[in-house]
């Protein structure tokens, strides 16, 4: 007799947003690496890692072009709509996912992007294309260091991620992003020394950005102009 798996609902100021059990079902959705094209990140996981102890979540840290994960753009692995964006704690009040974005891709598929830097997650109901910016890599919630926490659910249950950009995912694997749909971040990140109310800096060759930024402007969309130098 199969016992029904327990489920727990994610909650925030918006109320219950998602209820999940767990499953190891193989996926049938094409996912890209959730980081910039050409960059390399290393995969790791551990027992019971993931929502409801699914053991199906992955952590990634950057290894190329440098080893600095903190502040790196975290990108959508597929087209979707933000169904949750906020700070997550466990029901007992202990640290959880920290700043978290859930992206609904349709057909029951939802991806999680967790431990994002404060003030950077895309807003609820924002529609993102594959490769657009979800937020910035951070160290919020239950986290021992900046990394991308990434996992997939199908019909409310954890789903196994076998490949990203056609590359097998396994502990210690170094994956190169081939996400070419939208390789640049959807908006620039606020870098040290840049003015908070506007300015310009290079976010990747050969594009330069002009932007209007404020701490409350987290609608998941870059507002400004792009031009080639």
* Rounded Cα gap, residues 94 and 191, in angstroms: 30
pLDDT tens for each residue of 137-166: 999 999 999 999 999 999 988 999 999 999
Q: Do 162 and 217 reside in the same domain of the chain?
A: no
Q: Which residues does residue 102 pair with via DSSP β-bridges, in sequence order?
A: 84, 112
Q: Which residues does residue 81 pair with via DSSP β-bridges, in sequence order?
A: 104, 127
Please report whether residue 217 resides in a domain: yes
Please report whether residue 81 resides in a domain: yes
Q: Do 156 and 199 reside in the same domain of the chain?
A: no
Q: Do 145 and 213 reside in the same domain of the chain?
A: no
The pLDDT, as a whole number, for residue 196 is 42
* Rounded Cα gap, residues 142 and 181, in angstroms: 32
The pLDDT, as a whole number, for residue 36 is 93
Q: Which residues does residue 77 pair with via DSSP β-bridges, in sequence order?
A: none
Please report whether residue 51 resides in a domain: yes
Please report whether residue 61 resides in a domain: yes
Give the count of domains, the chain: 2
Q: Do 202 and 105 reside in the same domain of the chain?
A: no
Question: In 55-108, at which residue ranges do the beta strands (DSSP E only) sit?
Answer: 58-64, 73-75, 80-89, 95-106
User: Sign of dihedral through CA atoms 164, 166, 169, 173?
Assistant: negative
Look up the domain containing 195 and give its range.
187-229
Q: Do 195 and 163 reside in the same domain of the chain?
A: no
pTM: 0.69
Which one of 176, 195, 220 terminates a domain? Answer: 176
Question: Which residues of the chain fall short of a pLDDT of 70?
Answer: 1-27, 180-229
* Rounded Cα gap, residues 121 and 138, in angstroms: 11
* Rounded Cα gap, residues 165 and 170, in angstroms: 14
Q: Do 20 and 107 reside in the same domain of the chain?
A: yes
Please report whether residue 112 resides in a domain: yes
The values of phi and psi at residue 73, to 5°, are -60, 135
Q: Do 120 and 226 reside in the same domain of the chain?
A: no
Which one of 138, 153, 176 terminates a domain? Answer: 176
**Domain with 123 in it: what CATH number?**
2.70.70.10
Candidates 62, 204, 58, 78; CA nearest to 132 is: 78
Q: Which two tokens stand for residue 197?
A: 């109310």
Q: Do 28 and 78 reside in the same domain of the chain?
A: yes
Please report whether residue 156 resides in a domain: yes
Please report whether residue 223 resides in a domain: yes
The pLDDT, as a whole number, for residue 8 is 31
Q: Do 122 and 44 reside in the same domain of the chain?
A: yes
Q: Do 197 and 155 reside in the same domain of the chain?
A: no
Maximum distance among all Cα pairs of the chain, rounded to whole angstroms: 66
Q: Do 41 and 124 reside in the same domain of the chain?
A: yes
Q: Do 217 and 164 reside in the same domain of the chain?
A: no
Please report whether residue 182 resides in a domain: no
* Rounded Cα gap, residues 184 and 132, in angstroms: 7
Candidates 164, 139, 159, 18; CA nearest to 82 is: 18
**Distance spanning both ends of the chain, measured CA to CA:** 66
The pLDDT, as a whole number, for residue 180 is 64
């Amino acid at each position: 007799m199969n016992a029904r798996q327990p489920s727990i609902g994610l909650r925030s100021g918006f109320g219950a947003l998602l209820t999940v059990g767990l499953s190891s079902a193989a996926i049938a959705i094409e996912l890209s690496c959730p980081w910039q094209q050409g960059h390399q990140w290393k995969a790791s996981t551990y027992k019971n890692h993931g929502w409801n102890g699914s053991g199906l979540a992955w952590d990634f840290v950057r290894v190329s072009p440098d080893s600095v994960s903190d502040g790196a753009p975290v990108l959508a692995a597929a087209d979707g709509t933000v169904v949750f964006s906020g700070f997550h704690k466990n029901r007992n009040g202990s640290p959880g996912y920290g700043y978290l974005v859930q992206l609904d891709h349709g057909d029951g598929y939802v991806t999680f992007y967790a431990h994002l830097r404060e003030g950077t997650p895309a807003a609820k109901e924002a529609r993102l294309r594959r490769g657009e910016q979800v937020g910035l890599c951070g160290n919020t919630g239950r986290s021992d260091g900046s990394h991308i926490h990434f996992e997939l659910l199908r019909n409310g249950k954890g789903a196994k991620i076998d490949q990203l950009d056609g590359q097998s995912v396994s502990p210690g694997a170094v994956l190169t992003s081939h996400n070419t749909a939208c390789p640049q971040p959807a908006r620039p990140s606020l870098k040290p020394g840049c003015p908070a109310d506007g300015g310009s800096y290079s976010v990747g060759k050969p594009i330069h950005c002009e932007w209007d930024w404020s701490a409350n402007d987290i609608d998941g969309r870059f507002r400004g102009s792009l031009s080639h130098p």
